[in-house]
A and B are shown apart, each in its own frame.
Chain A
Amino acid sequence: TQLLEQSPQFLSIQEGENLTVYCNSSSVFSSLQWYRQEPGEGPVLLVTVVTGGEVKKLKRLTFQFGDARKDSSLHITAAQPGDTGLYLCAGEAGAGSYQLTFGKGTKLSVIP
């Protein structure tokens, strides 16, 4: 069974601060996805990383896939209250399986 460990589980920061969320596994994934979920809604895809060492940027969010494709990180620069939500990482085991294993998530609160 492939497991994804996310840390921290909870994060409460002031507006303008930077933060990093980690997603770690002992298993190799063909791709890793990051989602954001708001209360009462389903997860929404932010990014997919596929290649080991890959870095993708989405405005103030930077995503990195580990060289061995076992871990990933999400860095947010100058957090805004609108960044508040549950951040989930999800790994796809094998290319073409289209099945995702999710981590438990990081609940982020950005205080104005």
Chain B
Amino acid sequence: EAGVAQSPRYKIIEKRQSVAFWCNPISGHATLYWYQQILGQGPKLLIQFQNNGVVDDSQLPKDRFSAERLKGVDSTLKIQPAKLEDSAVYLCASSLVMTSGRAQQFFGPGTRLTVL
């Protein structure tokens, strides 16, 4: 079974530029998450989708970050304009609800963003 795919794997941009990340979740997984992981810290949830609807985007800096999941499958996360503090690994995860009623999240390899 293919895992969560993300691209690009690495991106270097200058501050004030824009950047977009792409995520393809595991087939059949209705829930998709974007996390930001700053060096030395654990992942922080930015946004959670259920199919193509937003469940929670309370920690997404909406003045510069946006995300969409138009057809309920692939998702893109955009930053415009980027700031130095946006340098981080951006992780995408998808989950499936198990018979236990709990959901297991599967993570992609992440996109490492460096803002100069």
Interface residues of chain A, those whose CB is within 8 Å of chain B, are 4, 6, 31, 40-45, 48, 50, 88, 90, 92, 95-96, 98-105
In the assembled complex, the Cα of A6 lies from the Cα of B41 at a distance in Å of 11
Chain B: minimal CB distance from A20 (Å): 19
A102 and B42 contact, CB distance less than 8 A: yes
Interface string of B38-74 (1 = CB under 8 A from A): 0011111100100000001000000000000000000
The one of A41, A90, A99 that contacts B109, using a Cβ cutoff of 8 Å: A41
Closest 3 pairs (CB-CB, A-B): A42-B107, A102-B42, A98-B103
Answer yes or no: B27 CB below 8 A from chain A CBs: no
Task: Tell whether A43 pairs with B102 under 8 Å between CB atoms, given A98-B31, A98-B95, A99-B56.
Answer: no
Which chain A residues lie closer than 8 Å to B104 at the CB level? 45, 48
Number of chain B residues close to chain A: CB under 8 A: 25
Which of B31, B56, B105, B110 is packed against the most chain A CB atoms within 10 Å? Answer: B105
Chain A: minimal CB distance from B109 (Å): 5
Interface residues of chain B, those whose CB is within 8 Å of chain A, are 4, 9, 31, 40-45, 48, 56, 91, 93, 95, 97, 101-110
Give me 28 A-to-B residue pairs in the complex whose CB atoms sit less than 8 angstroms apart, sorted by A's number.
A4-B42, A6-B42, A40-B9, A40-B109, A40-B110, A41-B109, A42-B4, A42-B91, A42-B108, A42-B109, A43-B91, A45-B104, A45-B106, A48-B104, A50-B102, A98-B31, A98-B48, A98-B95, A98-B103, A98-B105, A99-B45, A99-B56, A102-B43, A102-B44, A104-B40, A104-B41, A104-B42, A105-B41
Give the number of A-B contacts (CB < 8 Å): 53
Which chain B residues lie closer than 8 Å to A50 at the CB level? 102
B48 and A96 contact, CB distance less than 8 A: no
B110 and A99 contact, CB distance less than 8 A: no
In the assembled complex, the Cα of A104 lies from the Cα of B95 at a distance in Å of 22
Chain A: minimal CB distance from B79 (Å): 19
